Amino acid sequence: MTATYPPTGPNVLQFQVRRTDGGAVTSSRSISGANVGWGGHLTAAAGDRAFYFAKYPCIQTAIPNTTFYRITITNSGQISGFAPAGRPVKGMVTSLAISPDGSTMAYNALEQACAAGRRGRTLAGAASVSVEDLSTGKVRTWQDAAATQPTLASRLSWAPDGRTLVVDESLLGGPRGTLSVYKLDPASSGGSLQAHSTTLLRQGANCSPCVTEALAGPDGSLIALQSTTTGKLHGTLVVRIPSTAGHHQAVLYDGPLQNPGLFTDPSGQWVLLWPAQSMTAGWISGGRLHPLPGVGQVNPQGIAW
């Protein structure tokens, strides 16, 4: 499923269900694109039948509320439901991930008016991670109280068993490359991010190669996206980092793409890249990038599979 803005025509956000084999669109639905903020990303639960979307209105200078929506599809790929899920949360949700069983939404919400500044410590909630039980609306939050510089929970992903949450935390406005990756225990009651997490990766600005994103993979592993530079040539390396010390990482892809987005399915087995420059999305298998027909011809807002 993709969420995209058409390059021309009315201001709408279009959701399309596509078959990976051939790219045929099996169903689509559009909503007004007016006042839809950064939260227009997608996340998929296990089973390929439920996708989730976050939407918040940017109107005047008030802090918006974000509403999560559940999009269900049939076995034949038809959209059968599009309805709110859980309770609205305060702030602009910029990163979200649904648990594999579809019961819990993890998110980062910036408690900031849409028209206000987006730098430094003015971003209330930037260095926090929350999870909402969609059936009860109960929310728990973990805050990086130890941060000495402004940080942002930039990517979230659930382990396939739903027992841990991988959190990417990036430095706001600082040198590119600074990244911390945590494995959070979502069963705790909230509080300090560090107190309830294990640090999986800590990277400074002098990294080479640099991990730009890390997502939960199968069997406790990480799927990491690395940017590489050789002379004037830039490339991308996707690796699987095992959870057991002493085991070598496996290279899944090594190619010339620049700054692609990294996505996995809920099992962590299937990896997808969406390079912004070439507009060619594809899935990785056998060390190759296999294009998803039609996906690269639209303006991306979100993709999940």
> pLDDT band at 293, cuts 50/70/90?
confident
Question: Which pTM does this prediction carry?
Answer: 0.92
pLDDT at site 272: 92
118: which 2 tokens? Answer: 């987006």
Phi-psi region of 232 (alpha: psi -120 to 50; beta: other; left: phi over 0): alpha
For residue 141, pLDDT beyond 90: yes
pLDDT at site 78: 97
pLDDT at site 118: 47
Choice among 5-19, 232-246, 263-277, 289-303 with the minimum mean pLDDT: 289-303
Please choose, from the candidates 14, 48, 78, 1, the residue with its C-alpha nearest in 3D space to the C-alpha of residue 292.
1
Choice among 57-66, 175-184, 225-234, 260-269 with the minimum mean pLDDT: 225-234
Residue 109, class by beta-carbon neighbours within 10 Å (0-12 exposed, 13-18 middle, 19+ buried)?
A: buried
User: Which of the pair, 58 or 277, is modelled with greater confidence?
Assistant: 58
Cα 69 from Cα 77, distance rounded (Å): 18
What is the chain's mean pLDDT, rounded? 86
* Residue that has been written with the tokens 């990480």 in this structure: 222
User: Which of the pair, 158 or 273, is modelled with greater confidence?
Assistant: 158
For residue 281, pLDDT beyond 70: yes
Q: Where are the domains of the chain?
A: 2-303
For residue 220, pLDDT beyond 90: yes
What average pLDDT does the segment 104-110 reach? 94
User: Which of the pair, 7 or 92, is modelled with greater confidence?
Assistant: 92
Please choose, from the candidates 200, 118, 204, 117, the residue with its C-alpha nearest in 3D space to the C-alpha of residue 159.
200
Sign of CA dihedral 19, 70, 8, 65: negative
> pLDDT band at 256, cuts 50/70/90?
confident
Cα 144 from Cα 129, distance rounded (Å): 9
> pLDDT band at 119, cuts 50/70/90?
very low
> pLDDT band at 45, cuts 50/70/90?
very high
pLDDT at site 296: 61
What average pLDDT does the segment 233-246 reach? 82
Cα 153 from Cα 179, distance rounded (Å): 10
What average pLDDT does the segment 19-29 reach? 89
For residue 54, pLDDT beyond 60: yes
Please choose, from the candidates 83, 82, 81, 133, the residue with its C-alpha nearest in 3D space to the C-alpha of residue 107.
133
Choice among 5-19, 34-48, 64-78, 259-273 with the minimum mean pLDDT: 34-48
Query: For the chain, how many residues are written?
Result: 305
262: which 2 tokens? Answer: 């990294």
Choice among 87-91, 149-153, 237-241 with the minimum mean pLDDT: 149-153
What average pLDDT does the segment 127-131 reach? 92
Measured in whole angstroms, the distance separating CA 259 from the mean position of its chain's CA atoms is: 15
What average pLDDT does the segment 62-71 reach? 92
Q: Give, in order, the Cα–Cα distances in Å from 213 to each of 30, 99, 170.
A: 30, 19, 9
pLDDT at site 232: 58
Please choose, from the candidates 214, 132, 206, the residue with its C-alpha nearest in 3D space to the C-alpha of residue 170.
214
Q: Please determine, looking at this structure, whether the domain spanning 2-303 carries the CATH number 2.120.10.30.
A: yes
3-state secondary structure the chain: CEEEECCCCCCEEEEEEECCCCCCEEEEEEEECCCCCCCCCEEECCCCCEEEEEECCCCCCCCCEEEEEEEEECCCCCEEEEEEEEEEEECEEEEEEECCCCCEEEEEEECCCCCCCCCHHHCCCCCEEEEEECCCCCEEEEECCCCCCCEEEEEEEECCCCCCEEEEEEECCCCCCCEEEEEECCCCCCEECCCCEEEEEEECCCCCCEEEEEEECHHHCEEEEEEEEECCEEEEEEEEECCCCCCCCEEEEEECCCCEEEEECCCCCCEEEEECCCCCCEEEECCEEEECCCHHHCEEEEECC
